Amino acid sequence: MLKKRFLMSLILLIAVIGFATVTSAKPITLTFANQNPDTSWSGMNAIAPWAKQVEEATNGNVKIQIFYSQTLTKGKSAWEATKSGIADISWCFHGYWPGMTPLADVISLPALPYTTAEKGSEVLWKLYEKYPAIQKQFSDNKVLLLFTSNPYILITTKKQVKTLEDIRGMKIRMSGGPPTDMMKALGGTPMMVPMPDNYMSLQKGVIDGMGAPWEAIHGFRLYEVVKYYTETPFPAVYFSIAMNKKKWDSLGKENQDAIMSVSGLKGSMFWGKNHFDTAKDGVMEKVKDIEVYTLSDEERQRWLDKAGKPIWDQWVKKMEDAGHANAQEILDTAVSLSKE
């Protein structure tokens, strides 16, 4: 009888200790490096909401501590900072690193047939899932999701661009890869300037204009220093939310599955829509008298003849020369997915 009571007491003690251990376990806090301010459209509508989604999906086991405005690492250093563990997770703009993920650059070719960031993000994630060669180029970090901007518009400080002739010789900030190639073909001078530095570069005349999404115009208050907006067949650009591999491996499968339930395709489309597509409304609330000039059909075709399909062909040849025999297939898939 005493032995039975002892065993029951022991079982109860073990249960109490186990419960106390579970309830006292601290949540895992992951650092998140972001170059944009917390008041930016992306900060309010994509980053903070997604961090909350992660916390809810993991039942509070994982929390994300966001470091805005380059306070943890510079935007241009985000990928390497994630790889080295300076940041657990980073918002990564791949236009900073031309040549690092060149197969994914297909999504940045001019005039692809998608018109929203939500759709572009869907296409990019599906390409990533389909092609191991694309995955390999991102393999230094764990990719949680991929997303694109909406196709860029051209913003300028001193003159409205309406024709090819207008843009020739202008210093235009573009990201690396196909956007830079397009600007060269158009006759402009592409400039590589980190996004946080563009306000001063525009204000001081270091650049005459830039290709930009509405989100950046809102978040970096570029509407204060530009006068003109032109809708052109500019490409979109792309981003990743990437995580340090060792930190990812330490989370355990249950937390990993929970995080991916709000990442992957679903998260990519969420980020595209809420980071970019809705941001135009935010700009229009700030500036009431914006007029966006749209190229005529004839003029748009001139831009495409000069720097549309030729850039597609150039990208395919460059990738094939680098040993990627299926480059044309990847481009064809991107076009097909964009039309769905």
For the chain, the C-alpha Rg in angstroms (whole number) is 23
Domain layout of the chain by residue ranges: 27-150+237-280, 153-236+289-339
Which element (helix H / strand E) includes 173? strand 171-173
Per-residue pLDDT band for 16 (boundaries 50, 70, 90) equals very low
Reported as a single tens digit per residue, the pLDDT across 146-204 is 999 999 999 999 999 999 999 999 999 998 889 999 999 999 999 999 888 999 999 99
* Other residues' Cβ atoms within 10 Å of the Cβ of residue 70: 18
pTM of the model: 0.86
With contact defined as beta carbons under 8 Å apart, do 179 and 153 qualify?
Answer: no
Total residues found in the chain within this entry:
340
Q: How far apart are the first and last CA of the chain?
A: 73
Q: Are 27-150+237-280 and 153-236+289-339 in the same CATH fold?
A: yes
Reported as a single tens digit per residue, the pLDDT across 210-268 is 999 999 998 889 999 999 999 999 999 999 999 999 999 999 999 999 999 999 999 99
Q: What share of the chain is helix, strand, coil (3-state, %, to 5)?
A: 55, 15, 30
Alpha-carbon span 112 to 151, nearest angstrom:
9
* Domain 27-150+237-280 listed as CATH 3.20.20.150: no
Spatial CA neighbour of 124 closest among 13, 265, 285, 9? 265
So what's the architecture of 153-236+289-339 in CATH?
3-Layer(aba) Sandwich (3.40)
Sign of the CA dihedral with 125 first, then 266, 148, and 117 last: positive
Reported as a single tens digit per residue, the pLDDT across 129-139 is 999 999 999 99
